[in-house]
Amino acid sequence: MPMICLSDFEAYAKKHLPKTTWEFFAGGADECCTRDDNLLAYKRIRFRPRVLRDMSVIDTRTILLGTEISFPVGIAPTGFHQLACSDGEKSTARAAEAMNTCYITSTYSTCTVEEIAAAAPNGFRWFQLYIHRNRALSEGLVRRAEAAGFQGLVLTADLPYVGKRRDDIRNNFQLPPHMTVKNFEGVFEEESCSEYGLPPNSIDPSINWNDIYWLQSLTRLPIIVKGILTKEDADLAMRHGVQGIIVSNHGGRQLDGGPATIDSLIEIVDTVQDRVEVYLDGGIRTGSDVLKALALGAKCVFIGRPALWGLTYKVNEETWGLYMHSFSYAQTLGY
């Protein structure tokens, strides 16, 4: 069967991945209401189409913090890409480079930041950071990412503790023995590591707005905060000097019962008033979804799980282009 849309790749991944891996990628927190609502919320939004607008010239390019990308869809941070493809995040980085878009690399990568940078030396990459109790580890990782040529630092703000992901608990999810969180390889004793490859409770739950200032003291990279869902937090983010906001609920994997990201977007855009760039992830599956997010004020959207489905299909950089274009990006120009 030809692969013509993201749901085709999703079905392929579900069929071919081991059950525990599929449920790790697909799962959400508790009853998965927020995960599911991320998708359903787009179906509640309707277009008001305008006609006779001269669509003879189509240009999907946009600019993120001064860097041009070819279309307003980037790759969101997700962990453990080697569960889907043996090359892991190196393959993801090469695909983003080939498509000239932004790839946000996860702290929980199965390749090091140096390996990812070497795999796609001309790629546009940001680095996603969890702040750990051992601040020296986080500081070292920030400095390594900057030295490797990453162009932005994305602080995940919505994970003081890992969400209750029922499927992972039922499956006793563990990384395979040959696989590690490569950025921390050799730092922890192997027997002390939990299902997610690091010791339990290693992420610092005391993280707060003052940690933005701490990060600013470590790096010259622009700081983007991921996990904002309210106008109040958007205002605080601006007051603390961030350059970007990603409206995100962690794919519904953290707090179940929170809003769909597209439903939170309008109040955040209204609060920000173009003073910082606003992006969005969660629930994007079609070009129409991209258009809806852009029309409501997002500068760019990011996809997480669909990138993992593409890796599962064992695509190379050339066929990644066909995969990414299944969004029908030309739709994004009519708003």
Which residues are annotated as catalytic?
A: 250
Is 284 one of the annotated binding-site residues? yes
Q: How far apart are CA 34 and CA 96, in angstroms?
A: 28
Is 226 one of the annotated binding-site residues? yes
Is 239 one of the annotated binding-site residues? no
Is 313 one of the annotated binding-site residues? no
Is 304 one of the annotated binding-site residues? yes
Q: How far apart are CA 44 and CA 54, in angstroms?
A: 28
Q: How far apart are CA 85 and CA 133, in angstroms?
A: 31
Type of residue found at 75: I
For residue 275, the number of C-alpha atoms closer than 13 Å in the C-beta half-sphere is: 14
Pick from 142, 132, 106, 140: nearest CA to 206: 132
Pick from 120, 4, 75, 128: nearest CA to 311: 75
Is 253 one of the annotated binding-site residues? yes
Is 305 one of the annotated binding-site residues? yes
Q: How far is CA 95 from the centre of its chain?
A: 15
Is 130 one of the annotated binding-site residues? yes
Is 230 one of the annotated binding-site residues? no
CA dist 279 → 49, 68, 164, 264 (Å): 23, 15, 26, 12
Is 132 one of the annotated binding-site residues? no
Is 285 one of the annotated binding-site residues? yes
Is 332 one of the annotated binding-site residues? no
Produce one character per residue of 221-232: b if its CB has 16 or more CB atoms within 10 Å, e if not. Answer: bbbbbbbbbebe
Is 200 one of the annotated binding-site residues? no
Pick from 323, 293, 244, 302: nearest CA to 101: 302
Is 53 one of the annotated binding-site residues? no
Is 61 one of the annotated binding-site residues? no
Q: How far is CA 309 from the centre of its chain?
A: 14
Q: How far apart are CA 99 and CA 199, in angstroms?
A: 36
Annotated binding residues: 77-79, 106, 128, 130, 156, 165, 226, 248, 250, 253, 281-285, 304-305
Q: Which residues are annotated as a binding site for glyoxylate?
A: 165, 250, 253
